[in-house]
Structure 1
């Protein structure tokens, strides 16, 4: 049987040498492979009543692919009087396999353990952030913008949970990718396809690990551990990429393995149900609509985090963990925190810790009911939250330094403010002269008896320099 007809062979832009195959070869072989897989998948579904498991699909795909590439190599040898090497064939197999089952030309970048962010401004303008290194431009990820969009549509169709699409009706796409990546795509509302891929570098991390990384001190570890054991509701704040999700994962490691909890995310990123520490996790992910709107103005099929919270309260959950608060989930989340047993977690984007209550009020007014007021929003926040943990990142890579991520403030919410003002709070940890990271302020939390009952030694709250082993080593003075 003759192999598939392919485009012209060109230099492969990887590996630093001329190869026998081009990315056009990969595209054509992937289409052939997909056509041959389709009836196999359909037959499996008709026989078993379910989709073929990923591991089985990949094993079948690789078997078919080995045969396809072997036939391609034979055809190439006959046409050009030179045979591709075994290395050429295997590199082609892997490239097509990545295109069908993984992330195609993105995969080599995402396999790099030092990658933090990948930013794509059209097919040929790609920028990468690596750990403790300046941002740099890297090789293209497609031969044209149309090819890039086609591949992104392929990823959307392949997404396992929920309905995801990239089309004229839905020019925005958000996906959680294997390996702890979160992808955001914009098309049509931008001059070219724009893609940002952010990496959650670790999934299973502890507070001790954060001490080793310089994110928290021993005093903060003792305080946060006691707060989790005491069932305090904690909001983690900071700007994008500072490590809010990493902090949430570390705090979740302090939860008793037998406690029942639910996770609420727009795109799955926490994976607490897969890490193995917690035995009873109900993972919930929002679902996009199909682009059409019903009589109520909402997209048909859409399920938001706000929609998930009320029914989740009937699932006997002790704690709720909301991956990111950014819209209509703010009101039901605060209500659930107020009436729950405590110990829930959430993250929210805010630049300064003192602005957190204004941010909460803003979201409540934008997404709450017609009767929502700023005063009511403040009251809800005061009743729901116990602690605010603010994280900061200082990026000195452009000056030859590194990226420093650390807890900068810890606020204890103590109740409603005066005359409808923002909630009252104590600043338990904050920066000090000569130290940009959080150190004890000397103010003892009003919940100290509960924290001591949970194992906190109050001496940590008066520890010299906050028990940091040494001042933060930076290239420049941090203000």
Structure 2
């Protein structure tokens, strides 16, 4: 088995797929027999027993391969074979090495024979296939979609050709088949799961001034909407901001797929974590998809649970109505994220989502409730220079304070942080005090940080190929 360079540039052993299939089939039969005799055995015990069987089977294969080739396989080859068999039986098969690679940000599968990785820093590389046929790829996806760790079971069939799934490591998988010429899969990985605001400073997404300001917003129970384009780092920033909530405070997280991990991070003790559920594809007498539980359904239940805060991983539909209703009803400290291409379009995006809701919803109602409910909009930007030999940069570019209703019924804002483009800085720099500065002072915010002369980006220049416009 020769070595190859895959994904992150580190030489890796190319595993003999025929050997993997032979050993896998043997171990699968042993597992089936073992479970028949021990029907209540824990999964962890099965995995440990399987590791022993795999090691024994690989040792036998290695001896046979040595006799056939005249050269013994190396320990690295034996270990790679054992790992590949275990991944096929209990994890994500040939996908697993990419899920284990901390440098991988996204995985794109265009049919069984074409796999690409987006790596940290912006490189995109093609790597070996994760399946040998469409049927094998679909079987892998169906196995990943089987019910696991409390997640409702998802299906992928010609009748239900789209699959949204959270993998064991928290990665988000989206797949489509049957309606496309081949099966397409996109996996977005969460490389920054445990970060706090200090870690976000070290990653360059914020500076110490912004870290102190965002911490104060959370502690002062301000309602904050984090906006930005796809893959700009909104969820990572929200995870970090959640670490500013008192560990014993009881709050809810509402998500399509669990991505915030507040209920498993070992920091918070009182998290009511709720996840939406897809339907089984059938409709009831009322026309509603049977088995479906939407974010809006969960929002209304959360409002009755006497929680201190509600956090929505991403508002993408009618649930924005319930979210802003919670904010305008005096529920402070709520957080959510929203896709938006620019800070100037955030309120129009909210209005668009309002119009998706049933009832007498209008853009003017959306503007009024946004003006009354939101305290701050934090905009996260992703600046991609990979096409000219640079890197991807993710950072906060704006923090806007919502101060009520302005002209033409639209929300009025104060620009607390904006890019310092007049001196070549594309990231957020302080511009003015917010109207609610007294509330932030009461939770310990040192307001001298908002002096325009006090900018903690100094000494941390962004390595851009093209500077500010």
Task: Check the 8 A contact 2:214/2:241 in 1, yes or no.
Answer: yes
Partner of 2:125: 136
Taking a change above 3 Å as real, the CA distance of residues 17 and 203 of structure 1, as seen in their structure-2 partners, is closer
Pairing partner for 2:141 from 133, 139, 152: 152
Whether the aligned pair in 2 keeps the contact of 1:409 and 1:429 (CA below 8 Å) is yes
Q: Deviations for 1:47-91, whole angstroms, at most 9, x for unmatched residues?
A: 5xxxx544223213323433544565677778x586863734443
Q: 1:476 to 1:372 in 2, by over 3 A?
A: same
Aligned to 2:44: 55
Aligned partner of 1:4 in structure 2 is: none
Pick the aligned partner of 1:196 from 182, 186, 196.
Answer: 186
CA pair 167-395 structure 1, distance change in 2 beyond 3 A: same
Q: Structure 2 CA distance, aligned partners of 1:200 and 1:294?
A: 36
C-alpha offsets along residues 284-336 of structure 1, whole Å, 9 cap, x if unaligned?
11112212221222322111211112222232211111111112322222222
Separation (CA, whole Å) in 2 of partners of 1:382 and 1:43: 63
Check the 8 A contact 1:387/1:412 in 2, yes or no.
Answer: yes
Q: How does 1:253-332 map to 2 (within 5 A)?
A: 253-332=243-322
Contact 1:134 1:398 in 2 (8 A): no
Task: Give the corresponding residue for 1:26.
Answer: 20
Offset, 1:281: 0.9
Q: Deviations over 1:213-248 (max 9, x none)?
A: 221122212211111110001110111111111110
Count, aligned residues: 460
Per-residue CA deviations over 1:392-429 (Å, capped at 9, x if unaligned) read 1112233232221110001111113344x321111111
Q: Which residue of 2 aligns with 1:210?
A: 200
For 1:324, what is the secondary structure of its paired residue? Answer: coil
Q: Which residue is equivalent to 1:115?
A: 104
Q: Which residue of structure 1 aligns with residue 463 of structure 2?
A: 473
Comparing 350-359 with 182-191, which one deviates more in the overlay? 182-191
Query: Which runs of 5 or more structure 2 residues have no equivalent in the other structure?
Result: none
Q: Which of 321, 334, 338 is the aligned partner of 1:344?
A: 334
What secondary structure sits across from 2:277 in the alignment?
Answer: coil
Structure 1 partner of 2:351: 361
CA distance in 2, matches of 1:44, 1:140: 36
> Matches of 1:40 and 1:289 in 2, distance apart?
35
Instruction: Please point out which of 394, 405, 410 is paired with 1:422.
Output: 410
CA distance in 2, matches of 1:197, 1:104: 14
Match in the other structure for 2:363: 374
- CA distance in 1 between partners of 2:5 and 2:140 (Å): 19
> Alignment partner of 1:119: what SS?
strand
Match of 2:210? 220
8 A Cα contact 1:74 1:83, kept in partner: no
1:37 pairs with 2:31: yes
Matches of 1:145 and 1:28 in 2, distance apart?
21
Instruction: Report the TM-score when normalising by structure 1.
Output: 0.88
Deviation at 1:463, TM superposition (A): 3.3
For residues 403 and 129 of structure 2, what CA distance do their matches in structure 1 show? 52
Partner in structure 1 of residue 73 of structure 2 = 85
1:177, 1:17 → 2: CA distance? Answer: 24
* Distance 1:308-1:71 versus aligned 2 partners, 3 A rule: same
Aligned equivalents of 1:116 and 1:38: distance in 2?
36
Query: Does the 8 Å CA contact 2:13/2:80 hold for their aligned counterparts?
Result: no
Deviation at 1:374, TM superposition (A): 1.2
3-state SS of the aligned residue for 1:411?
strand
Write the deviation string for residues 184-225 of structure 1: whole angstroms up to 9, x where unpaired: 111122211111111111222121222222211222122111
**Aligned CA-pair RMSD:** 2.5
In the other structure, the counterpart of 1:6 is none
Taking the aligned partners of 1:103 and 1:210, their CA distance within structure 2 comes to: 30
- In 2, the alpha carbon distance for the partners of 1:195 and 1:69 equals 32
State how far apart, in whole Å, the 2-side matches of 1:362 and 1:159 are: 35
Range moving further from structure 2, 222-231 or 331-340: 331-340
